[in-house]
Amino acid sequence: MAPVRHLISIDDLSDTDLYSLVLRGAAFSAGTAGRPAPLAGDVVGIYFRKTSTRTRTAFSSGALRLGAQIIAYGPDDLQLNTGETSEDTGRVMSGMLDVLVARTAGDPAEMRAWAAQDRMAVVNAMSADEHPTQALTDLTTLQGHFGGIEGLRVLYVGEGNNTASALALALTRYPGVSLELRTPPGYGLAPYYRERAADQAGRHGATFRERHDMDDLPADQDAVYTSRWQTTGTSKPDPDWREIFAPFQVSAALWETSPKAVFLHDLPAHRGDEVTAEVLDGPASIAFAQAENKMHSAMAVLEWCRP
Ligand code: CP
């Protein structure tokens, strides 16, 4: 059997891997992927140190549907809490698990340490810097809705958080895509992701911009995306952060210049904060189909991990 494949960052995927994972997720979503059981006999560990409704359920349900059995660990269950090293943890678990899906909301170096073996695939279900399986879900949703991603115009409004970082790494690999981010001042993408997205866009014939205001928004967008202001596992030290974020709420006014845009949200949502209820629950919103796609995309990821 070929060595397992780890997914800790979108950077871990070749262009071919990225494009085929998105197409495969869309096939699961459309019901055209058949009913394969490539993980029959496998055991998948699900280790979530932070809260999750969608991602944990998506990978658990997806693994079961692909024929695997699962072991779920809560935040206090592993000896990591008593000082066992990440390297030892990965080495031990790799003798008993085939895949480990983990949410830490911490430094991805810990996942890289778990992945320093080739028997157990490690999947990042959200670290502090990046949420790669969310980006795969988002592209799966765009693929399913538009029939393709090349040439789409996407406006992201909100914090440059781990969802935005992964989205920027993934979308800028598609020719003709326009990705514009409007992030509150002081809450933009981390420099690595901004520079990497700009570089990739240049190489793939895409465009990428980030601004920190809501003036002169681009018109005729295909999709408008936002994310919760209080990203899971984080807090904002500035007590006045809400004043900075307030102009970045997504409201129906945005649809005056982009009347055909669909609305995406990684969820969970806080209606009245990052988005109005009118938009989230309105006709442009495909956010709940996007949430369901977390499972379809998770199945594509699990299948890819075990070639
Ligand atoms: N979007 C997302 O990651 O949702 P959960 O935090 O519920 O997994």
Please indicate, yes or no, if residue 199 is contained in any of the structural domains: yes
What is the position in ligand 1's atom list of the atom closest to the CA of 126?
Answer: 3
pLDDT band at 105 (very low <50, low <70, confident <90, very high): confident
Residue 50 CB less than 6 A away from ligand 1: no
Average pLDDT estimate for 70-91: 97
Instruction: Identify the pLDDT of residue 1.
Output: 63
Please indicate, yes or no, if residue 3 is contained in any of the structural domains: no
- CATH code of the domain containing 41: 3.40.50.1370
pLDDT band at 231 (very low <50, low <70, confident <90, very high): confident
Average pLDDT estimate for 86-96: 97
Residues spanned by the domain of 263: 134-291
Residues 185 and 91 in one domain: no
pLDDT tens digits for range 109-146 = 999 999 999 999 999 999 999 999 999 999 999 999 99
Predicted TM-score (pTM) of this structure? 0.97
Q: Whose CA is nearest to atom 4 of ligand 1?
A: 54
Is residue 232 within 8 Å of 105, Cβ to Cβ?
A: yes
Distance CA 149, CA 144 (A): 9
Residue 232 CB less than 6 A away from ligand 1: yes
Please indicate, yes or no, if residue 2 is contained in any of the structural domains: no
Q: How far is CA 243 from CA 159, 189, 247, 249, in A?
A: 13, 19, 8, 11
Residues 168 and 110 in one domain: no
Residue 228 CB less than 6 A away from ligand 1: no
Give percent above pLDDT 70 in the chain.
Answer: 100
